[in-house]
Every structure is written in structure tokens, then in C-alpha cells.
Structure 1
Amino acid sequence: MRLLSVAVAVSFLAAVPTAAQARAGTIYYVDSRAGDDGAAGTSADKPWKTLEKVNAADLKPGDTVSFKRGSSFTGPLMLTANGTANRPIVITSHGAGAMARISGDEGDCVVAKGAYWRISGLRASRCRWAGFALRGHHIVLTGVQSDGNVAGVWVTPSGSHNTVRDSTLTGNNRMSVNDEGGDNDSGAFGVLLNGDDNLVTHNTITGSYAKSHDYGTDGAAVEIFNGDRNRITHNISRDNETFTELGAQKGKTATGNIFAFNVVTSSRSRGSFLITRGPGHVVGPVKGTIAVQNSVYLPAKDTIGWSCHDGCSPSILRLRNNVIAVGGEAGWEDGKGADDGGSVYFGRKLVFKLGPKSVKADPLFVSRTDLRLRPGSPALGRGLPLSPTWYGGTAPGQDILGRPVPASPDAGAYQR
């Protein structure tokens, strides 16, 4: 799809440090095959060899570290310095071939503790827990790959105002807790958000799915636990157990998270789009979740579009202009129920009250994986006009393909 080509383009453009980067500070080069930690590291023909040399470097605002493509390293890569808003510290790549790969079971593979980093061109694979752990703030992770981890990207409780974009998170399918009893199995996350005010956008997330003693199978493309005001927009999700599940331990919050213009499909035998909780649940209440302009197709029988349980109310979940077609329950609510409107639902059962302009009808997707709308779709012109507050205070701008959102929108992630 078009988003994949965008990610490839971003990765290509990041392959060589730009002239602006070169003027900003010192460029250091790293090559696991031809490098030498005794070298100066400041030219491509005299690169460093190991991550230990990078970890020990006294990086300054405006500096760049460029990894030779085709290199392979044992982590962790520890990014502890601080850049500035005008002079971030840059991690990039150079040369031809596959992204430089960091793996290892000693810890999380890439750990960014500092502030104002721009990280691209790396692959984190088969790490102890997280491929990329964002512990600092104002970190931009773009055009990376992460696979085979418990969490492809983990934004820790201290991580805030970070961005994960244009990246490919594939097969992060391991459980960190997987034992009998206790209702505590955990893992298989594409992105795990424990921090506040982060943006996850224009990523492709697939295969977040693993066997679980407690749940049979489990996993999520984007899991939010104790994280507030995160925005998850314009992502492609395929074959994950759940697109998103939200929770908060007692005394903490997961308030005001927004999901917009995401496209969710799956060929698995079970799955869901969104799971959230009211005050009666052990990890509730999760307040102020908004799901708007998403397109979802989960054809298997054991599926659910959205679930708002243990005391659902409009303060828990608000939905607008979604297209959700499933083989199971299109939506489920208890209590006072969610706040719904402008949507198209299709499933064996709807255990909720349809809101204004919402209908139960076949949305007429182009195919099982192409969720654009065919002529005559009931989703065309179905959406309600929405103010910027529905999108986190900014106008929605564009749909999943970059097309403008009209004043009278279609339901779903694709606009005419």
C-alpha cells in the first residue's frame, strides 16, 4: 500500500547524513565489519566498530551517529545525552543493503533516555524485552524496524512527547509473563504506551499475537496502560490479536487517548479493535477514550469491534464516523453505554444502542484487506462533522491516503 512506499522513502532519505546535519555538529560512523574502536570514527573510511564505543561517546546537541547498513550488533545501544529542539542528536544510516541490526538478550536493544533524539535506519530484533525503549522526551523514532520482541516499541512511564512514525513493527510475538493462573500474562505488543502525550502515526503493525496460558492468545498492535493523551493515527494494522486495549492501575490514569484514521484487518480466528473498561474493572476506569474515522474488518466468528464494560458511559468511550465489520459482535456496552454516532456497523450481534446517523449495514469494502468503499456504500456521506477537539485539538487534515477530509465526511479512514 501507499504507506509502505512512504516508509521506504523515509528510510532511503535517512541513508546519508544531510548537509544540515553535518553543519550542526560532528558526524560519527559505525561499521561492525570494517570498523575499529581505535579509529577516530569521524569519517566513513575510519569508522568505529562497536556499540560500546557509541555508548561511551560524549555526544553533543547537533551530533550525528551513522550506522553502516548491513552491520550487526549486540545491544544495548544506550542514548543518554540530550539534544535540543533546534539541534537534536541524530541516529541514521549510510551505505546500501539491509538496516543495521541490533539484537541480544542482555536488555532492551535501543534505549533512549535523553531528550531530543531523531532515530532512524535501525532494526531491533530478538531483544530481551523491547526493541526500542523510549525513556526520555521529544524523541522521534522514524523509519525503523522491530521484530521478534515482547514489545516492538516501549514508551516507558517517563517517556513523553515522543513520536513513532513511518515504521514497520512485525511479529513482536513473545510473552514476558506466560504462566498458569493469576490473570497476568503480558506481551506481544507492537507498541506499548505507559507514558503521556505521545504520537504513534503512519506505521505498519503486524503479527502482535502469542499463545497465553491465561487468555489462550493475546497481544495488541498498540497497548495503553497508565498513559494519558496519546494519539494513535493513520496506522495499518494486520493480523494482530487486538488493535488496542486500555487499562490503568488503581491510583493512576489512562485518560484522553485518541484513535483516528486507523485501518485494521485480520485473518486470525479471534480478535478485536478496541477494548476499554469502566470503574468496575480492576484496571478501570479508563476515561475519555475517543475512536474516530477508523476502518475495521475482522471476519472470524470469535471477534468483537469494540467493548466498553464494567460500567461503560459516554465519559469512558466516544465513537464517531467509524466503519466496523466483524464476524462476531460489532460492539458491546453495559451501564449507561458509549457515545456513538455517524458510523456503520456489521456483525452477527450489536450489543449497544446505535447513535445519531449510525446504521447496521454491510459497508461494501473493496475486499477483505482493502477497506476503501465501493460505490453505494452506506458509509459514503455517513459521517458527522467534527470539531478539532475530536482529534486532540487540531483539524484532522487528511485521511489514511493523504486526501483532505471534507466538511461532510464519509465514515471510516478513507475519504472520497
Structure 2
Amino acid sequence: MKNTIMRSFYLTVLLFMFGIVFFAVSTMAANYYVDATAGSDSNNGTSTASPWKTLTKVNSMTFQPGDTIFLKKGEAWTGRLWPKGSGSQGAPITIDAYGTGNAPHINGNGQESAVYLYNQQYWEIKNLEITNNNGTSSRRLGIYVVNEDAGTLEHIHIVGNNVHDVYGDNVKDGNGSGGIKIRTIAGNVKSNYNGILIDGNVVGPRVDRTGIDVNSDYWCRPDSGCTGTYNWYPSTDVMIQNNYVADVGGDGIVPMATLGAIVQYNTVNGFNMRSGTPNAGIWAWNADHTVIQYNEAFNGHTTRDGQGFDIDYGQTGTIVQYNYSHDNDGGFILICQPGGAKNDGGIVRYNISQNDYERVFHLIGPTTNTQVYNNTIYLPAGSTTQPINVGSWGGYTQSISFYNNIWHLDGAGSWLGIANAGTFNFNYNTIYGVHTAGEPADPNKLTANPWLAGPGTGTNRTAVDGYKLLTGSPAIGTGMLVSNNGGKDYWGNTVSSSAAPNRGAYNGSGVQGTPPSPLIVHNGGFETGALGPWGNWNTASVVAGNARSGSYALQLAGGPGSSEQVVQVQPNTTYTLSGYARTTNSSEQVRIGVKNYGGTETYAVITSTSYTKGTVTFTTGASHTTATIYVYKPSGAAYAYGDDLSIATTASISNSGFESGTLSPWTNWNTASVAANNARSGSYALRLAGGPGSAEQVIPLQPSTTYTLSGYAKTATASQPVRIGVKNYGGAEVYAVISSTSYTQGSVTFTTGSSNTTATIYVFKPSGSSDAYSDDLTITQ
């Protein structure tokens, strides 16, 4: 009991003493003010009425924990800001702004850096405008924080600053130029940082070389390919978020020699603007378990790398998720390592790539155990971007998996080098649009249109709803279950750990919208000026001139020769292929046709020397999802030309002649039935036994499309007419009135609304007691 009482007494004393110390620190903390116009270095600096004037004065001071240095807004200083001292836990030293107007401006004017800390900790640098430009280029930085032989330094926060016009050189080096750099220099004491926050800064324009980076000389380990003395000592608790990096000479944002860094909610707009070396937008190097998420990277200007994102070598377990990459010269993502290094267990999931160039996925070197799943990729018509490019860097990819991804390819280049990969798992992916050389096999591949709400319409990271799936999409619920799948999609929708997910970056139940046309002829007017995705056999090319419309046409330079394209179709569906062609010699025909659709090859023959339309109608087989369309000149030496090819669904009416002997799928109101007599053709007809009564059917149609409904009807009494009409199509109800006692054709023309995909057709007798009959209804586009 006595020992317990004594321990309690000593604890009370210690807590009391700690309280005194904390109180002393708090009461010792001071605010200091700096005003370049009204200040004086002879002032005490402790109020807005007696501010200091120069950076020299600030740099001469050693500040204490809890102190704040306030620089006046609207003022400017030339030179380097390097205040001394360190804060403590709970009492950092802060540099901030006061007053009104523009942020306080520091121009380093050719110094190594404009703002500098050396072997200092517990600092926060906020709300400054920083430049470093004296008209000549050299190694130069905006904000530069250095640890040399200081062990672990804590709590470096750089928040809300505007760093631009840093006229550094573009040498690619850990000790190179940049906007914001936190660096550890090797010495006698193994050193690193803990608690780095780089938040809400604007870096750029005109910053050379790197926008934001954290790096260290303590990088040597086998994972990075280093064979020297191993000294890897990563910085921890690193957060880089909410920054806007624009117009940088080289790389955008790069954490190096870190463990568990998080890089999120950043935008990199314009990287490698002036460097001739390999660069990427956001990436990590020699850094384990990095999470790169909710970022946007675009306008990368190089194909020497040049991707929006990168899982580089010297890493284990990097996750790249919920990012938006677009319009980068080098593509979406690089996954790489040289032989002798390590890149293991990377994950790329729930990202969106739009209009990236050169290659979407660049896989180079013997990386291992990478998973790429539930990403959505869009390439526009005329694109020659390679969906995947596998290359060697001391070996090829050893093991990688692609699951549940959507490639919506209105245009694309070849899939390159996949056969060189070791273990290449490719399953449950959707590849819609063009199908180019090297496309990998997939036992559960879908080639049907995934029904993206608006592919190609993304404008920024939070405005990409065009990559959600429409209700009824074949990609909904047809993916492969992936363990440890992150639990949510790009938009925050739950991804189940037990139920089959969607394909692509969206895992919701679907959004309302107009389903896309089930079939598209890509580059049907050849207005890209190039042949792709059409193929060439023997003589085909695209020429400027000889066009029916626009500026370009397909040319078959003599014969035989042809150009073909594989298009996506729905099974058991009737289509009409239309196009225009001409030949320079009427004795040498040119054909527009279709094959490989589940039926007999069919084509239209054109012998005219002026553009003439050719059409063919075909119905796909029960299991066919593609067809090959072509323009073909079978023989002769004369030239032929083709232009303006298109394909459309031929609308159909089920049981249009009632020859099933039953009413279905027509529905009856009051008096409708099928009779085995009074047919116009065949054996059966629709009977309306007196009136009023009707039969209706809902049919699928395309939005904003003009159709003609035709059919035959008769009535037993001329004064009791019968109607053939259409309603619920997006316009006013229209119908034809037939009062003849013998079969007479009636027809109506209508145009569907911009969001209408169905219409209700009907045969209706509004009144009377005599019978009426109808037969042989058709609808044409």
C-alpha cells in the first residue's frame, strides 16, 4: 500500500511539472511581424505596429516552439528566407501571412532556394508566394527543406503556398531543381523525416525541373538495383494532397525513399514541358506501399515515359486507384523495372483513361505480381494508341493480371509484345469497338457495347460521369470477383467482397440514359485522313479528294483490292449496311458488302462512274457479335472509290403477319384475336370483333430516327373505319385511317425523340359492331 501511495505521489508531481513546462512553452511563444515597407529591423517585431523589415533580420533569429512569423500581404522581399530554430510536438514554428491583399512574395533571385530549412523540425510554412528567377538557369528551388545528419526530423508542413517561376535547370537528379523539395543528405547519422504534409499548394507555371518531390540519399537496397552498401532509410507519414502542379519542366509529383506515402487529390497539368529526359506526372520511386489516389494528370509532353502515372521500380505494394488520366503523350501508366531491381505487388484499379496517346499500359522489365482490374479506358476514332505495350528492360513482365477492365476503342493501334510476358492472365475484360492485331484471348471476354453513359466526355476528375454504365449494360454484374478489391469504385459505390462486380471503374446499378446504337462504323467517312481501323488488302488507301462528302475518301488503286472493318453487332438482329462507291471504268465493278455475320456473304454491286448508293440487309446469327463489312474491287486496273459507309438496325415487328396463330407479343384491348381466315397473305390475320377494340405492340427503335410504319387493313362496314398508328415515341400520336372493305395499305411516318428507344404501334377500331381485319405490318427506317 505504501509503494502504491508513493507511486501515485510521484506521478502527480511529474504531471504537475509537465504542466508547468507546457505552460511555460505556451506563454513563451510569440508572434513576429515583417513589413517590407513600413517595418524597421530596429523594431521588436512583436506587433503590427512595430514590425521588422528585412529577411536578414528574420534569418538572424532563432525562434522558439510555438512562435509564428507573419509576413505582410501585399509586400515583397528579394533573397532567401531561412529562419533558425525548431518547434516541438504540439508547438510548431509557423510562417504565415497577415493583413489583406496578395500573398507575401519572396523572390530568391538566383539563390539556391527562396525559402530554406536546414536540420530543423516542427515547422509549418503557409500562404506565401514564392519565385526564384534572376534571368539565368541553374540549380534552383522554391521551398527547400534539408536533413543532414540530424536523425529523424518531425512535422514539416508546407501548406497553401504559390510557387512559380523557379528558373531551375532541367537536370534529372535527386539533388536537382524544383518547386517544393524535402531532401535527406547522407552523412554520418542515418536520417529521415516523419510527418511530412504538402497540402493545397499551387506549383507552376514555369517551374523547372520537378514540381514536388521528397527524396533521400538513403536509398541503396537490392529493390532499387543498388549493389553498394545498403542504407535504405525511408521517410514515414508522408502526405501530399490537394496540390495543383502546372507547367513543370520535368516530373510532376514524386515521393522517393518513403514508406506508406499517400498522394491524393492532386492535379498535374502539363509536365515535361522543357526537359528532354524521361518524366511522368505522378509516381513513386524506391518507395514501398505508396497509395496514389483521386488525382488527375494530363498534358504530359513526351513519349520517353510521359505517362500520367507510374509504378516505378524499387517498390512493393504500390496502389494506383481512383485517378483520371487523359491527353498524355506517353499514355496512362508505366509499370517498370530494370533487371536486378524489384517491382512487386502493384495494384492499378478503378482508374479512368481518356484520349491518352502512344500506349495505355506500358509494361517494361521483369515486374512481378501486378494486378490491373476494373479500369475504364476510352480511345477516340482515329487513335493509334497501343492498348498494351510489353517491352524488355533486362527481361519482360514476369507476372501480371488484367481483370474486369473496359476498353472502349473507337480507334486503337496494335497490342504489342504480350506474347513475351511470362504469366499473363487476361479474363473478364470488355473490349468494344475496333479489334486490332495482338488483342489477347480472354475466356470471358465481352465485345458488346458496354453502354457507357458518355464516353469521351470527361472534363476533369470530378466530371467523368460519362464513364458510368447505363441501366441494362452488359458490363453490370458480369465481372470476376477479386479478393481485397478496395471496397469501393471510382464514385464511391460499394464493391462487394462476395458478389460479382461490374466491369470497369463504375460499380453502381446503372444510370438512366439513351442506350447507344448497337453498331457503329468507325471512320465511315474516312475523315480522319487515315485508313485505320479499316484494313488494307493490296490496293486500299485514304486520299484527299474524290470524296462524296467531306475531304477524304477510300481509294482502291486498281484491282483486285479491298478494305475491311470488323464491327460489333447483336445476335439475331437485322441490319442495313449502306455506303457509296464509284468506279472509273463501268466495266470494272466495285462491291459494298458484309460477311462473317452468321449468314451468307451478301453485297451490292456498283458499276457507275459517279457515286451511287449501295445497300445490303442482313440478319446476324444466334451467337454472332461481330460482322466484317467491306469495299471490294475484284479485278481490273481502274481506280474505285468508297465513302460515307454506315450501318443501322432495321426495326422489326414481331409476329407482324400473325402467322404464329396467336396474338403474342401483341396485346389485346377488348376485341382483338387472331383468326385463321381473312388473311391478306399466309393463313392468319388480326381480327377486331366489333368495336371499340385494338391490338398493340411495343417495339425497340433508335432515338432521333425517322421511321415509316406500314400495314394492311379492311373493315366490314365502310362507315366504321380502322386505324393503323403509332404513339409513345416522343411525338404526337399519328395514324392512317382505312375505311375500305378490301385490304388497303395505310402508312405513317414519324421521328423518334432524342431519348426515346421504343414506340407503341397499334391497329384500332374506335367504334361500331362490324368486324375489321389487319395483316402484314412492317416498319422501315
Alignment-derived partner of residue 371 in structure 2: 318
Q: What is aligned with 2:99?
A: 95
In structure 1, the residue matched to 2:257 is 195
Q: Does the alignment pair 1:132 with 2:224? A: no
2:278 equivalent to 1:274: no
Secondary structure at the residue paired with 2:57? Answer: helix
Matches within 5 A, 1:195-214: 195-197=257-259, 198-213=261-276
Report whether the alignment pairs 1:258 with 2:319.
yes
Give the whole-Å Cα distance in 1 for the aligned partners of 2:54 and 2:62.
Answer: 15
The equivalent residue for 2:309 is 244
For 2:405, the aligned partner's letter is S
Counterpart CA distance in 2 for 1:254 and 1:297 is 27
Distance 1:49 1:168, change over 3 A: same
Aligned positions of 1:8-407 closer than 5 A: 25-78=29-82, 81-104=85-108, 105-113=110-118, 114-126=120-132, 128-135=139-146, 136-149=153-166, 150-157=177-184, 158-175=192-209, 188-197=250-259, 198-213=261-276, 215=277, 218-241=278-301, 242-245=307-310, 247=312, 253-266=314-327, 270-280=329-339, 284-299=341-356, 302-314=357-369, 317-326=370-379, 327=383, 328-333=385-390, 334-346=396-408, 348=412, 349-351=414-416, 355-361=426-432, 364-365=454-455, 367-370=457-460, 371-374=463-466, 376=469, 387=484, 404-407=492-495
Distance 2:67 2:29 in 1: 4
Q: Which residue of 2 aligns with 1:182?
A: none
**Structure 1 residue 338: deviation in Å?**
2.4
Structure 2 counterpart of 1:358, one-letter code? N
Query: How far apart are residue 384 of structure 1 and its match?
Result: 6.0
Quick check: 2:355–2:456 contact (8 Å CA) kept in 1?
Answer: no
SS of the counterpart of 2:388? Answer: strand
**Is the CA contact (8 Å cut-off) linking 2:312 and 2:337 kept in structure 1?**
no
Q: Which amino acid aligns with 1:82?
A: S
Look up the equivalent residue of 1:203 and give its one-letter code. N
- Could you tell me whether the CA contact under 8 Å between 1:343 and 1:383 is conserved in 2? no
- The one-letter code matched in structure 1 to 2:116 is V
Residues in 2 aligned to 1:380 and 1:134: alpha-carbon distance in whole angstroms = 49
8 Å CA contact retained: 2:294, 2:322: yes
> What secondary structure is seen at the aligned counterpart in 2 of 1:41?
coil
RMSD: 3.8
1:301-326 per-residue CA deviation (whole Å, 9 max, x = no partner) reads: x4322322121321xx3333333335
**Distance in 2 separating the partners of 1:124 and 1:58:** 22
Check whether the contact 1:33–1:71 (CA below 8 A) recurs between aligned residues. Answer: yes
Identity %: 22
1:275 deviation in Å?
2.0
Higher relative contact order (CA 8 A, sep 6+): 1
From the superposition, tell whether residues 137 and 23 of structure 1 become closer, same or farther in structure 2 (CA, over 3 Å): same
Q: 1:59, CA displacement in angstroms?
A: 1.9
| Change beyond 3 A, Cα 1:272–1:311 | same
Quote the Cα distance in structure 1 between the aligned partners of 2:333 and 2:27.
46
Secondary structure in 2 matching 1:54:
helix
Q: C-alpha distance in 2, partners of 1:80/1:413?
A: 51
CA distance in 2, matches of 1:60, 1:141: 19
Deviation at 1:254? Answer: 3.8
SS at match of 1:53: helix
SS of residue paired to 1:308: strand
Structure 2 letter corresponding to 1:166: G
Paired residues of 2:87 and 2:123 also in contact (CA < 8 A): yes
How many residues end up aligned between the 2 structures?
Answer: 363
For 2:122, give the aligned amino acid: Y
- Cα drift, residue 40 of structure 1: 1.8
Cα deviation code 1:312-359 (max 9, x no counterpart): 321xx3333333335412333343342333333345244455645433
Amino acid at match of 2:375: N
Confirm or deny: 8 A CA contact 1:294 1:412 kept in the other structure: yes
Report if aligned partners of 1:134, 1:155 keep a CA contact under 8 Å in 2: yes
Q: CA deviation at 1:26?
A: 1.6
Distance apart, 1:121 and its partner CA: 0.7
User: Structure 1, residues 17-52: CA drift from partner, whole Å, max 9, x if none?
Assistant: xxxxx9893222223333322222222232223333
CA contact (8 A) 1:373 1:414 kept: no
Q: Any conservation in 2 of the 1:109–1:131 contact (CA below 8 Å)? A: yes
Between the aligned partners of 1:134 and 1:292, the Cα distance in structure 2 is 34
Indicate conservation of the 8 Å contact 1:156/1:194, yes or no: no
CA drift of 1:240 comes to: 3.0
Contact map agreement 2:378 2:455 (CA 8 A) in 1:
no
Deviation at 1:137, TM superposition (A): 4.1
Preserved contact between residue 32 and residue 50 of structure 1 (Cα < 8 Å): yes
